[in-house]
Amino acid sequence: MNPIIEVKNLVKRYKKADENAVDGISFSVAEGEFFAFLGPNGAGKTTTISILTTTLAKTAGFVKIAGFELDKNEKEIRQSIGVIFQNPSLDKNLTGEENIRFHASLYGLHPFRPFYALMPDEYKKRVAELSRVVGIEKYIFKPIKSYSGGMKRKLEIVRGLMHNPRVLFLDEPTTGLDPLSRKNVWSYLQDVRKKENTTIFLTTHYLEEAESADHVCIINHGRIVAYGTPRDISHEKSLEDAYLEIITNEYARV
Q: Which is nearer to other proteins, 75 or 183 (CB)?
A: 75
Q: What is the 3-state secondary structure (H, E, C) of 52-111?
A: HCCCCCCCEEEEEECCEECCCCHHHHHHHEEEECCCCCCCCCCEHHHHHHHHHHHCCCCC
Smallest distance, other proteins to C-beta of residue 70, A: 12
Stretch touching other proteins by CB under 8 A, among 32-40, 51-59, 125-133, 219-227: 51-59
Instruction: Indicate whether 118 belongs to the interface with other proteins (CB under 8 A).
Output: no
CA 157 to chain centre: 9
Binding residue for other proteins (CB under 8 A) from 10, 63, 65, 90? 90
Q: What are phi and psi of 185, to 5 degrees?
A: -60, -45
Instruction: Scan residues 53-82 and list those touching other proteins (CB under 8 A).
Output: 53-57, 75-76, 78-79, 81
Spatial distance between the Cα atoms of 90 and 99, rounded to a whole number of angstroms: 7
Q: How far apart are CA 190 and CA 229, in angstroms?
A: 18
Among 19, 114, 117, 236, binds other proteins (CB under 8 A): 114
Where along the sequence are the contacts to other proteins (CB under 8 A)? 14-15, 53-57, 75-76, 78-79, 81, 83, 85, 87-94, 98, 102-103, 105-108, 111-112, 114
